[in-house]
Amino acid sequence: MGDEAAAYGALYAGCNFFAGYPITPASEIAEVMARELPRSDGYYVQMEDEISSISAIIGAVWAGGKAMTATSGPGFSLMQENIGYAIMTETPCVLVNVQRSGPSTGQATKPAQGDVLQARWGTHGDHEIIALSPSSVQETFSLTIEAFNLSEKYRTLVILLMDGEIGHLRENITFPPLEEITLQERKTGPADAPSFGGAAVPPMSTFGQGRFVHVTGSTHKENGMRDVSTQSVHQELVTRLCGKIRDARGEIWRIEEDYMPGAKVGVLTYGATARPAKGAVLEARRQGTAVDFLRLISIWPFPEEAVRKLADRVDVILVPEMNLGQISREVERFTSKPVLPISRIGGVIHRVEEIKDEIIANG
Partner 1 sequence: MKEDKIFHPRANKYLRTEMLPTAFCPGCGCGTVLNGFLQALDELKLDPKELVFVTGIGCSSWIPSPYFKGDTLHTTHGRPIAFATGVKVMKPDMKVIVIAGDGDIAGIGGNHLIHAARRNIDISVFMVNNWNYGMTGGQVSPTTPFGVRTGTTPYGSAEHQLEAAEVVAAAGANYVARWTTYHVFPMVKAMQEALRVKGFSFVEIIAQCPVSYGKMVKMRRGSDFLKLYKEKSVKVEKARQMSDEELEGKIVVGKLKERKRTEFVSTLRQINERFRQELAN
Q: Which residues bind partner 1 (CB under 8 A)?
A: 16-17, 19, 38-39, 41-43, 45, 47-49, 51-53, 55-65, 67, 81-82, 85, 207-208, 210-218, 225-226
Q: Phi and psi at residue 120, in whole multiples of 5°?
A: -75, -45
Instruction: Tell me which H or E stretch contains 24.
Output: none
Closest CB 100 distance from partner 1, rounded Å:
24
Q: Which residues contact 167 (CB under 8 A, 6 or more apart)?
A: 1, 2, 3, 6, 25, 26, 28, 98, 111
Sign of the dihedral defined by the CA atoms of residues 257, 260, 261, 266, in that order: negative
- The secondary element (H helix, E strand) that includes residue 42 is none
Q: How far, in Å, CA of 39 to CA of 229, rounded?
A: 48
Least distance to partner 1, CB of residue 163, Å: 28
Q: Given the complex with partner 1, which of 182 and 191 has the nearer CB atom? A: 191
Question: In sequence order, what DSSP letters do the residues of 128-175 get, joined into one string?
Answer: --EEE--SSHHHHHHHHHHHHHHHHHHTSEEEEEEEHHHHT------P
For the CB of residue 270, give the shortest distance to partner 1 in the complex, in Å: 31
Pairing verdict, β 43-46 and 316-321: unpaired
Q: Which is nearer to partner 1, 78 or 322 (CB)?
A: 78
State the nearest-atom distance from the C-beta of 164 to partner 1, in Å. Answer: 26
Nearest residue to 268 (alpha-carbon basis) of 339, 171, 178: 339
42 φ/ψ angles, rounded to the nearest 5 degrees: -105, 180
Least Cβ distance, residue 252 to partner 1 (angstroms): 26
Q: Which is nearer to partner 1, 63 or 324 (CB)?
A: 63
Least Å distance between CB 32 and partner 1? 15
Q: Which is nearer to partner 1, 103 or 210 (CB)?
A: 210
> Given the complex with partner 1, which of 43 and 259 has the nearer CB atom?
43
Residue with smaller CB distance to partner 1, 58 or 263: 58
